Structures are given as C-alpha cells and as structure tokens.
Amino acid sequence: MDLLSKLTKLLAKADIQLTDKQKQQLVDYVGLLHKWNKAYNLTSVREPEQMLVRHIMDSIVVNGHLKGNKFIDVGTGPGLPGVPLAIVRPDAHFVLLDSLGKRVRFLKQVQHELGLTNIEPVQFRVEEYPANEGFDGVISRAFASLNDMLSWCHHLPAKEGRFYALKGVVRDEELAQLPEGFEIESITELKIPELDEQRHLVKLLKK
C-alpha cells in the first residue's frame, strides 16, 4: 500500500478529516524524514509506514485538544509534533525549538520543500529562549520529565497559556513531583490507530 493510501486509512480510523493538500504534505514530510534519517539519524523509526503511525498520527491526534494559535514545540527533534500539527493547523504559528544544529537544518529544509509558512525553526537551549510575549501553548513530546519541562519552560507560556506534555505511560510519582506553582488541568488518554502502546496528553497550568 502506498503511503498516501495508508495515511488516508489511518485518518479514517481516527475520524480526522484533512484536505488532499494536507495529506500530501504529511506524506512528503515522512519522505524527507526517511531520506535525511540515513545521514542525520533523526529518528529510531526506520520504516516510512511506521513513521505514519508513530510520528504523524501520534502528533496530530493532539490537535483537537490545543487552544490558541501561537505554540512552541520544545525539544522538537526532527519536528515532532510541531510539523504535523502545523500542517493540520495552518492558521496557527509554531516555533520549533531544538539545541542541535543538524535538526534545525533539517527543519529549514522541510519548511522550504513543503512551503510551510507557519513554522519557525530555531536553534536554542530552551531555558535561554527569550519568550517576549509568551505562547498559548508549550508543547513537548518525549521530552524529559514533567518536572524538568516545567522548570526549563516556565517562562514560555503567556498568562493564560498551557503546557501540553505528550507522554506514554503517566506515572504517579512523576505527577507527585511537579514544581511549586503548577497544577494539572487534565490527563487524556489518546488512541492512535495501529499503535498498541499507551499514549497520554497531560495539560498543565501555572497557578
């Protein structure tokens, strides 16, 4: 099965509607990820079909839970979940932040080849990134612990902004170790078609 048909099937299972252009951009992104992965070692997932499940669907199932239109994806790596979310949410702006130059170079190539005007790849250490106006959402996937995320990213959200942590298993001891001044708004179990692993979205607020 070609990648576009596979993606269409996965989207139907997740009840997500996208335009033909958005589907093509997601497939083209997987193509770039696969091509650059050989030299840049961007992801441990090697097969494009698995990238559709583990990277694309894993990212875009979060879209309906996001509020606002100005986001920062911290520790974005090769652009996950920021690039897929930017494709399915074209009216929102995404800063894609990573400290590794090769990843940011890859993201600039993605930006150029896919014509994505709503992503902004930046090379920065997250704790040093100047967030002058703040973001509606601070997103992380496979980032360090919640404690580290909140400690390093505390300056990034706007007054009403939220933290969105994409996690696998959510452990009670991790939730118990939140820094002072933050609270959990919700924990949502996410269902990814054809992925037999736990996924959760943890939403947090500054008190």
- Binding-site positions for S-adenosyl-L-methionine read 75, 80, 126-127, 141
Q: What per-residue confidence (pLDDT) applies to 91?
A: 97
Q: What per-residue confidence (pLDDT) applies to 131?
A: 87
Task: Look at residue 164 and tell me whether its pLDDT is greater than 80.
Answer: yes
Per-residue burial over 49-84, b = 16 or more CB atoms within 10 Å of its CB, e = otherwise:
bebbbbbbbbbbbbeeebeeeebbbbbbbbbbbbbb
- Binding-site positions read 75, 80, 126-127, 141
Q: How many CA atoms lie within 13 A of 24 on its CB side?
A: 7
**Residue with the two structure tokens 């875009």:** 60
* Number of separate helices (H) and strands (E) present in the chain: 8, 7
Q: How many CA atoms lie within 13 A of 110 on its CB side?
A: 33
Alpha carbons 160 and 150: distance in angstroms, whole number: 15
State both tokens at 49.
Answer: 């079909």
Task: Look at residue 100 and tell me whether its pLDDT is greater than 90.
Answer: yes
Q: What per-residue confidence (pLDDT) applies to 11?
A: 98
Alpha carbon 197 to chain centroid distance? 18
pLDDT digits (tens, 9 = 90+) for 104-150: 999 999 999 999 999 999 999 999 999 889 999 999 997 778 999 99
State both tokens at 156.
Answer: 């990034």
Q: What per-residue confidence (pLDDT) applies to 142?
A: 74
Residue-range domains of the chain with CATH: 1-204 (3.40.50.150)
Average pLDDT over residues 75-84: 97
Q: Which ranges of 41-145 would DSSP assign to H, the alpha helix? A: 48-51, 58-60, 82-88, 101-114
